[in-house]
Amino acid sequence: MFDAKKIREDFPIFKKSPNLVYFDSAATSQKPRIVIETIKEFYEDYNSNIHRGVYSLSLEASKRYEEAHYKVAELINADKKEIIFTKNATEALNLVAYSYAFYNIKEGDEIVTTIMEHHSNFLPWKKIAELKGAKLKFIKLNKKTYELEFDEKIITEKTKIVALCFVSNFLGIINPVKEIIKIAKEKGAVVVLDGAQAVPHLPVDVKEIGCDFLAASGHKMLGPSGTGFLWGRKELLEKMEPFIVGGGAIENVKIDEVKWASIPWKFEAGTPIIAGGIALGEAAEYLKNIGMENVFEHEKELTNYCIERMKEIEEVEIYGSSLKRVGVIPFNVKGADPHDIAGMLDSEGICVRSGRHCTHPLLDFLGIESSVRISFYIYNTVEEIDRFMEALKRIISYLK
């Protein structure tokens, strides 16, 4: 039985600040005790480098670091060798852009994406298109619901990459990725999914979805800052050149020849964030034990309840009417600056995001400069939403 109040007991920040309302998990999640203790344990008990020593500390660190890859793989039903640890989803997406797309895109080819992308899944493809003389094409958005209006004709034989977010970081909308992937595969295109807002919040099975690459942020899924991962199909990863090269990425080096290490290690050059990677594995296992379907259902209940409550206030404008969404609600208060709203909520102990959310093209499409965004996770409750609503009503009354 899912119990958010019980789950909160696993998070030291809520023990220290029991009245804290944290509604900004789409930016970064809070960390459970097991993640924090895992980092502490590494530095206190077996701190050493990995894959570079035959002494017991190094062997233990290497074993734990490799096991962390396997735990992440289990969460998304991937092969254990197909998980590459990165410092965030941004690096993971750039890895695909510069290790795969750079070598496989030529002048006149097409890259299909959307205007709802986080900049981290827009700028790499914009750059690749500029470097290689390719054409960037955008799937249209519905002007009322802001959902994708996917016309399969946009994907042609010239389309080499389809890059889209599984879930919009601003709107929270769950995109019809399987439908798009099916058409992309028929045309021979490679599909890259930004899973930063999907992996932490709903069941993700890469084999069932059918994409070729999926990137995610560790810090958004209960893991430490400075962690993320890329999943890629083994047959593609084995053919790809490393994006960053150096120690740890090679099997053998001669003056005129380099033999790269096997996957995933050829993509993890240099000393990685070892403690963070091991802790990311613990975060993945923590979520797996809760059950991602339970996570999704809990967020859906909170989101539906909050939207209904927010509709009580005529001054509040919510962006996006889709019910196919995770726990993300962007909104504005008519006539008020989003930063003022966020600052006033903070004075009430409520943390929300305000700004442009790394989605400038989408906000331009919506015709707004910025917004407030609230986002939920496993540790949030209906009682917190009620408290948020009372605070928001007081703020609006004050601003009048």
The SS3 assignment for 84 reads: strand
Residue 358 falls in the annotated catalytic set: yes
Which residue(s) pair with 384 in the sheet?
none
The DSSP 8-state label assigned to residue 242 in this structure reads P
The SS3 assignment for 316 reads: strand
Q: Is 382:302 a contact under the CB 8 Å cutoff?
A: yes
| Active-site residue, selected from the candidate residues 165, 211, 306, 358 | 358
Q: Which helix (H) or strand (E) holds 229?
A: strand 228-232
Residue whose pair of structure tokens reads 């703020």 in the numeric block: 395
Spatial neighbors of 269 by CB under 8 A, at least 6 apart, are 242, 244, 245, 246, 247, 248, 249
Phi, psi of 222 (to 5 degrees): 80, -5
Q: Which helix (H) or strand (E) holds 228?
A: strand 228-232
d(CA 111, CA 118): 16
d(CA 215, CA 211): 11
Spatial neighbors of 256 by CB under 8 A, at least 6 apart, are none
First-to-last CA distance in the chain? 44
Least Cα distance to 109 among 128, 96, 94 occurs for 128
Q: Helices (H) and strands (E) in the chain — how many of each? A: 15, 16
Residues marked as catalytic: 358
